[in-house]
Amino acid sequence: MAMIMQWTENLKVLRELNEELRKRSMVMTPYERQKVESQRNSLRKSCHLGIVSGASDYLTGKINAFKFERKLYEKARSKEINSWDSAILSSTYGIMSVLLNMSIVGTNPMIGDTKSNRIRKLYKEAVDSGDKYRLRAFNDLLPGITAKITNDLEESRKVNAVNLESQTLVDKLRETEEIKTARDKAQNAYEDFNKSLREVKNISVDIGDGEIDHPLATGQLADLYHRIQVYRDEQGEPVIELLEKDRRF
């Protein structure tokens, strides 16, 4: 704790000197300006290593905190995935595949017996049944059926609308409270990481090392920044990786 206080206190003093130069440099005498710059540069030199080390640990800690929450989120999702009985799901897929394929043959649009009406009826029956396996099977298999009727734009549009409704309902069904809580915590940790990353960028400038996101930036903070890789998974949720090597090379 004492070490944390030391580097943050040194950073605070350094920033105060930077701010004084920024605000008063134009009205200072050459002697006053040289005195403040000397103090600033001396502090930068003597505290540089401590501030860089402290800032690196600070940002790395935020990354690890996110990764911890991300693991809990992944665990919650895995728990939901594994909650489905594979035998029941497979059997339901088989039945629903037959029903969906039957819905697009032998129709009679003249009396309103269209593919889209049949499919919407199957969807309503799946919803009304309260059977989550039946609803999921319908939703998972419907895109394959839609692909078979692309020659009829109006019917395809109507079936896509059903698909959107079913996907929304299935997503809601599979969104357990545990997943919601874990996702919220991971999102908060991600936002905390982003806030910390912005802070470390500012620290690099304050200590005279320049912009760490510059392609040619050097130094420990720049090296750390260019080892961080952020992307989105298939669900659109953030992922942070700390690579062994600099992404630039």
Which residue is listed with tokens 């905390």? 192
- The number of angstroms, rounded, from the C-alpha of 136 to the middle of its chain's C-alpha atoms is 25
Cα–Cα dist 116/160, whole Å: 9
Give the closest residue to 159 by CA, choosing from 175, 141, 173: 141
CA atoms within 13 A on the CB side of 142: 29
pLDDT-based confidence at residue 248 (cuts at 50, 70, 90): confident
- What share of the chain in percent tops pLDDT 70? 98
CB-based contact 223:242 (threshold 8 Å) = no
The CA distances from residue 137 to 46, 166, 169, 173, 203, in Å, are: 66, 10, 13, 13, 53
Which residues face 242 on adjacent strands? 228
Which sequence spans correspond to the domains of the chain? 2-79+186-242, 85-174
3-state helix, strand, coil in the chain (%, to 5): 75, 5, 20
- Cβ neighbors of 131 (< 8 A, separation 6 or more) are 92
Rg, Å, the chain Cα set: 29
Name which residue leads in pLDDT, 180 or 1: 180
The chain-wide mean pLDDT, for the chain, equals 93
Residues 90-109: tens digit of each pLDDT: 999 999 999 999 999 998 88
Over residues 81-93, mean pLDDT: 97
